């Protein structure tokens, strides 16, 4: 039986009525995305139609999911909200703080020892406030959510950008910052600009070497890392219904890499099969009763150009396996072109490591297809040329693949099975030799491949592919190997060809696990004590940010003018810094240390205008804070791309940065800045970015008249006394300006709780 079946049945009870009312208001057939949006309005039954990409709308999500790295800050904020229990079903998943190094057993034991204080904190807070807790080793948040909580037609938010994975089960699942999660956990509305809609029609059917991962790798190449910003991507067509539920999840998961708000698929037989296989026949039965409302109206998919803002068509029968990268997930190369591209770009052809698994590709089907290739190593007398690792997505998957012999198959080719955790995908990989910073190539089935992300080495070129392609490339050890056409030389000197991968969509014997790793919260949390040591290096209770003094910001200094790509990994690195995710002061020492300074093309080296000396970015900002000098950050396009981590907004806020001025923002980061009481601004004229000089002083001359829709005027005073007046746009509405005035959105929640 499913968790929260009563909540799911309640959603379905009003679904038909709300969808019909929305259809009347909009005056046309509805997409699936619109049905879910309109059936989850904070007001309940819809009373008006909304304009895509324009109207801010209040929603009522069904549930919240938090991973341990972001949950620390989210729950520290929730403790300030004055609530005795979360208002909606909420879970915490311990998956980010387990470093991959030796093997699953060793690494998990070390993590429990090193991060025991954090795990105990999360466990006790969950116990106290009615939150379901998934212990270290239980699995990666998105895989566990898909197996236990996702349901067709639901709306969920999660404090991780890959929350969108649950779209594989027909949800609208959206990544947010911790402050957004606190709103919903506190029983308040969640605000989102009504998204635009991108429809992707999948014709034909996947076969042979081509996998669901290749669909999103192709889409990323078409839309780029910002092409989905402000939009929901809805997949449909015969190719979609022919695909497994977990394959759909993989596609939705990597939708975060095109900046999409979320991605989803209509309810179909594959979702029914998956629900039943994961022990939720009650959800499948309930969904089948309202199935007509869990997909778009027939007219929509028949004539998609009339209903979506953009339509892309991909013929799966013609789709070729892809590898995307290096250094960005949207550089898409068909495998037949990879050798040519690698030689042209001087990418190292020798593959050092192949890694499969992670939240993106760790389903039973993924592992089974990879194992079918691993088995051929012995059968064809081959030898695996690269190191090979597997990261199972959950204890349920791990236990099941061990029972069905796949781990034994991997053992025979010398593979390492890491813990059921994020591991190398998020930089939690203690890779031997990475500190030498040698230029090398790895291939993986993860979702992101930004510089330094996997192993901290800026010279590691990481390429993203399907688990089966990664396995084949690891066996070959050659980036230019095309398993569709090329042969390998086995240990007898014979030419052999790898057979196409095969594998069951779901385990024939069903899923199983001795201990999935779930801890239910206390019935009465009032007696639970949450203790945070004042001397802890890992956890720190929060102090409210100061409200705006309602004056213009004058005499601000330029902290950094970031050049080129500046993701949340550049703003607040993961890897070893994850251990400080619950301690705002300590983690602020990584603020913007990965950003490239436009004036000297160096990282973590900016000019301190008080002394004239160059120093680390956090050190310079701490000097400004100590002197009471405000500062701003300037950036390029898609600033804040990547993870949902709100630390990238909280750190500059904590250290005294007042505003971030960029050419464009990634959606989640812009919201995070607003929630923390900062100014998130964009150049009215992008060319003004070039006018900003290293020694500039900035005056916000009309901030006192900060209102929705009205640009702000910024005066940049240069070292020679000359000035440039720059207009800065913003997207704040009245309530968001209220966050700025109060000092943060949380300050308003806490004030409301005391009223």
Residues serving a catalytic function are 95-96, 160, 448, 643, 645
Within a 10 A sphere around the Cβ of 281, how many other Cβ atoms?
14
Cβ 381 vs Cβ 491: under 8 Å: yes
Rg (CA), the chain: 25
DSSP state of 703: G
351 burial type by CB count under 10 A (0-12 exposed, 13-18 middle, 19+ buried): buried
Among 262, 207, 275, 274, which Cα is nearest to 229's? 262
- Backbone dihedral angles phi then psi of residue 4, each to the nearest 5 degrees: 55, 35
As given in the structure block, the two tokens for residue 540 are 């720190």
| H or E segment to which residue 266 belongs | none
DSSP state of 539: B
Among 72, 67, 99, 93, which Cα is nearest to 427's? 99
Within a 10 A sphere around the Cβ of 743, how many other Cβ atoms?
17
Please state, in angstroms and rounded to a whole number, the distance separating the CA atoms of residues 187 and 537: 31
Length of the chain: 755
Cβ 488 vs Cβ 495: under 8 Å: yes
Q: 57 in helix, strand or coil?
A: strand
- Residues linked to residue 389 through DSSP beta bridges, in sequence order: 355, 416
Among 273, 287, 4, which Cα is nearest to 153's? 287
DSSP structure string for 402-423: HHTTHHHHHHTTT-EE--SS-G
| H or E segment to which residue 658 belongs | strand 657-662
């Amino acid at each position: 039986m499913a968790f929260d079946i009563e909540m799911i049945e309640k959603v379905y009870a009003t679904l038909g009525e709300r969808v019909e009312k929305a259809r009347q208001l909009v005056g046309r057939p509805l997409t699936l995305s619109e049905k879910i949006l309109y059936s989850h309005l904070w007001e309940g039954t819809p009373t008006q139609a909304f304009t895509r990409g324009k109207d801010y709308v209040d929603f009522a999500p069904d549930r919240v999911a938090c991973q341990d790295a972001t949950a620390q800050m989210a729950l520290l904020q929730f403790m300030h909200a004055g609530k005795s229990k979360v208002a909606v079903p909420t879970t915490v998943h311990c998956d980010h703080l387990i470093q991959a190094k030796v093997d699953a057993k060793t690494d998990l034991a070390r993590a429990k020892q090193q991060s025991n204080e954090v795990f105990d904190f999360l466990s006790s807070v969950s116990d106290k406030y009615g939150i379901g807790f998934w212990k270290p080793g239980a699995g990666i948040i998105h895989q566990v959510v898909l197996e236990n909580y996702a349901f067709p037609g639901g709306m969920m938010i999660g404090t991780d950008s890959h929350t969108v994975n649950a779209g594989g089960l027909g949800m609208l699942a959206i990544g947010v910052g911790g402050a957004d999660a606190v709103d919903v956990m506190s029983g308040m509305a969640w605000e989102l600009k009504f998204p635009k809609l991108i429809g992707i029609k999948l014709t034909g059917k996947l076969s042979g070497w081509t996998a669901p991962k290749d669909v999103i790798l192709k889409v990323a190449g078409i839309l780029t890392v910002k092409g989905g910003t402000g939009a929901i991507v809805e997949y449909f067509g015969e190719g979609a219904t022919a695909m497994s539920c977990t394959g759909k999840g993989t596609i939705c998961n990597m939708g975060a890499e095109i900046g999409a708000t979320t991605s989803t698929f209509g309810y179909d037989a594959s979702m029914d099969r998956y629900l039943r296989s994961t022990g939720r026949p009650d959800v499948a039965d309930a969904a089948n009763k309202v199935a007509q409302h869990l997909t778009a109206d027939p007219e929509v998919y028949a004539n998609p150009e009339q209903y979506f803002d953009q339509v892309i068509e991909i013929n799966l029968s013609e789709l070729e396996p892809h590898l995307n990268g290096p250094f960005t997930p949207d550089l898409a190369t068909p495998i037949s072109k990879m050798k040519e591209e690698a030689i042209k770009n001087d990418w190292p052809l020798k593959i050092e490591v192949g890694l499969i698994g992670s939240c993106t590709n760790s389903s039973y089907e993924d592992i089974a297809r990879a194992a079918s290739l691993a088995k051929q190593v012995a059968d064809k007398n081959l030898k695996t040329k690269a190191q090979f690792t597997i990261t199972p997505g959950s204890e349920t998957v791990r236990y099941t693949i061990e029972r069905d012999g796949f781990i034994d198959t991997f053992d025979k080719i010398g593979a390492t099975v890491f813990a059921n955790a994020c591991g190398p995908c998020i930089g939690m990989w203690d890779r031997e030799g990475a500190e030498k910073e040698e230029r090398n190539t790895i291939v993986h089935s993860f979702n992101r491949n930004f510089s330094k992300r996997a192993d901290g080495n800026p010279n590691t070129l990481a390429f993203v592919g399907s688990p089966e392609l990664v396995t084949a490339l690891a066996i070959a050890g050659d980036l230019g190997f095309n398993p569709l056409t090329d042969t390998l030389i086995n240990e007898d000197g014979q030419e052999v060809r790898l057979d196409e991968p095969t594998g069951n969509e779901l385990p024939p014997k069903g899923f199983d696990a001795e201990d999935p790793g779930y801890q239910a919260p206390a019935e009465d949390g009032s007696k639970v004590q949450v203790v945070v040591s004042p001397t802890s290096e890992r956890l720190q209770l929060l102090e409210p940010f100061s409200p705006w003094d309602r004056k213009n910001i004058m005499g601000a200094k330029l902290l950094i003018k970031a050049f080129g790509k500046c993701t949340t990994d550049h703003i607040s690195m993961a890897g070893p810094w994850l251990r400080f995710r619950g301690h705002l002061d300590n983690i602020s020492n990584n603020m913007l240390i990965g950003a490239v300074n436009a004036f000297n093309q160096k990282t973590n080296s900016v000019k301190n205008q008080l002394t004239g000396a160059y120093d680390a970015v956090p050190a310079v900002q701490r000097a400004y804070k100590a002197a009471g000098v405000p500062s701003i950050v300037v950036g390029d396009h898609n600033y804040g791309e990547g993870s949902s981590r709100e630390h990238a907004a909280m750190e500059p806020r904590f250290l005294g940065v007042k505003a971030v001025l960029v050419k464009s923002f990634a959606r989640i980061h812009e919201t995070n800045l607003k929630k923390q009481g900062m100014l998130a601004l964009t150049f009215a004229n992008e060319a003004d970015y070039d006018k900003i000089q290293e020694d500039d002083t900035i005056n916000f001359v009309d901030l006192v008249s900060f209102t929705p829709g009205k640009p702000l005027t910024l005066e940049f005073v240069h070292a020679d006394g000359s000035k440039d007046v720059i207009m800065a746009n913003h997207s704040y509405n009245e309530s968001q300006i209220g966050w700025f005035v109060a000092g943060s959105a949380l300050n308003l929640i806490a004030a409301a709780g005391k009223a």
